[in-house]
Amino acid sequence: WATVWRRNFNEGELRVRLNTDPHAPANFRANGAPSNMPAYAQAFECKAGDAMVRADDKRVVIW
């Protein structure tokens, strides 16, 4: 799934997209949700401090 969002933008293109596109940049769309999910960290054996593990006080809770 995340390979769909794999992109490299140069700084100019990223600035244009941030100002015109209502969607988050690709890396945030691909990594944002899983990094907030304890189940993801458990399934992939991620440890505290790993890039895909958000600290409890930084984790987003919607419901």
pLDDT tens-digit readout, 3-54: 666 777 888 988 998 999 998 887 788 888 899 999 999 999 999 999 999 9
Asked whether the whole model's pTM tops 0.85, one would answer no
Task: Using the predicted structure, report yes or no on whether residue 58 has a pLDDT greater than 80.
Answer: yes
Tell me if 63 is assigned to some domain: no
State the residue range of the domain holding 23: 2-58
Cα separation of 11 and 63, whole Å?
A: 35
Tell me if 39 is assigned to some domain: yes
How many independent structural domains does the chain possess?
A: 1
Give the residue ranges of DSSP H helices in 1-63.
11-20, 26-35, 38-43
Cα separation of 56 and 9, whole Å?
A: 30
Tell me if 20 is assigned to some domain: yes
Dihedral sign, CA of 43, 46, 48, 49?
A: negative
What's residue 15's pLDDT?
92
Tell me if 9 is assigned to some domain: yes
Tell me if 12 is assigned to some domain: yes
Tell me if 32 is assigned to some domain: yes
Question: Is there a contact between 11 and 19 (Cβ–Cβ < 8 Å)?
Answer: no
